[in-house]
Structure 1
Amino acid sequence: MSDFEAYFFLILILLISTILILAFFKSTRAKSNLPPSPFSLPIIGHLHLLAPIPHQAFHRLSLRYGPVFQLLMGSEPCVVASSPKTAKEFLKNYENAYLDRPLNLAVTTITYGAKDFSFAPFGSYWKFMKKLVMSQLLNGPAIDLLLPDRHDEINRFIKSLYEKASVGKAVNLNAEIVKVTNNLIRRILLGQRCLENAGEADYIRKLIFEITEVIGAFNLSDNIRIFKRLDLQGFGKRVKDIHRRFDTLIERIVKEHEDARKHGTQSAVKDLLDSIGYCRR
Structure 2
Amino acid sequence: MADLGDHAILVTICLATIFLFLAIFVKTRAKGRRPPSPPALPIIGHLHLLRPIPHRGLHKLSTGYGPIVSFYLGSKHCVVVSSPEIAEEFLRTNETSYLDRPKMANFDYLTYGTSDFSTAPYGPRWKLMKKLCMSEVLGPRTLEKLLPIRREEVRSFLKMIKNKAEIGGSVDVVAELMTLTNNTISRMTVSHRCSSDENKADEIRKMMREMNDLGTKFNLADIIWFCKNLDLQGFKKRLVEVRH
After TM superposition, give the deviation of residue 109 of structure 1 in Å: 0.9
Q: Percent identity?
A: 45
Q: Which residue of 2 aligns with 1:268?
A: none
Is the CA contact (8 Å cut-off) linking 1:70 and 1:78 kept in structure 2? yes
Contact 1:103/1:119 (8 A) holds in 2: no
What is the DSSP-based 3-state SS (H/G/I as helix, E as strand, rest coil) of the residue aligned with 2:177?
helix
Aligned pair count reads 232
Question: Counterpart of 2:25?
Answer: 24
Per-residue deviation, 1:101:
0.8
* Cα RMSD for the two superposed structures: 2.5
- Alpha-carbon spacing, 1:30–1:149, altered in 2? closer, same or farther (3 Å): closer
What CA distance in whole angstroms lies between the structure 1 residues aligned with 2:58 and 2:227?
25
Distance 1:199 1:52, change over 3 A: farther
Partner of 1:148: 148
Mapping of residues 68-107 of structure 1, within 5 Å: 68-107=68-107
1:88, distance to aligned residue in structure 2 (A): 0.8
CA contact (8 A) 1:47 1:72 kept: yes
2:45 pairs with 1:60: no
**Distance in 2 between residues matched to 1:154 and 1:126, nearest whole Å:** 33
With normalisation by structure 2, the TM-score equals 0.86
1:49 deviation in Å? 1.4
Task: Normalising by structure 1, report the TM-score.
Answer: 0.75
Deviation, structure 1 residue 21? 7.2
Shift of 1:189: 2.2
Deviation (angstroms), 1:162 = 1.9
SS of corresponding position for 1:80: strand
Contact (CA 8 Å) 2:179, 2:195: kept in 1 or not?
A: no
Change (3 A) 1:167 1:19: farther
The separation in 2 between residues aligned to 1:215 and 1:122, in whole angstroms, is: 20
Deviation at 1:193, TM superposition (A): 2.2
Alpha-carbon shift at residue 125 of structure 1 (Å): 1.3
Q: Classify 1:53/1:175 alpha carbon distance in 2 versus 1 (closer, same or farther; 3 Å).
A: farther
Deviation at 1:222, TM superposition (A): 1.2
1:239 aligns with: 239
Q: 1:45 is paired with a residue of what secondary structure?
A: coil
Determine helix, strand or coil for the equivalent of 1:195.
Answer: helix
Structure 1 residues without counterparts, runs of 5 or longer: 1-12, 245-281
Partner amino acid, structure 2, of 1:103? K
Structure 2 unmatched runs, 5+ = 1-12
Letter in 1 for 2:175: A
Aligned partners of 2:22, 2:227: CA distance in 1, in Å? 23
String of CA shifts for 1:145-169, please: whole Å, max 9, x gaps.
1111010110111122222233333
Give distance in 1, aligned partners of 2:56 and 2:28.
31
* 22 and 189 in structure 1: CA distance in 2 versus 1, 3 angstrom threshold: same
**Corresponding position of 1:9:** none
Write out per-residue CA displacement over residues 60-89 of structure 1, whole angstroms, 9 at most, x where no aligned residue.
211111111011111100101112112111
Q: Paired residue for 1:224? A: 224
Partners of 1:199 and 1:48 lie apart in 2 by 44
CA distance in 2, matches of 1:125, 1:30: 34
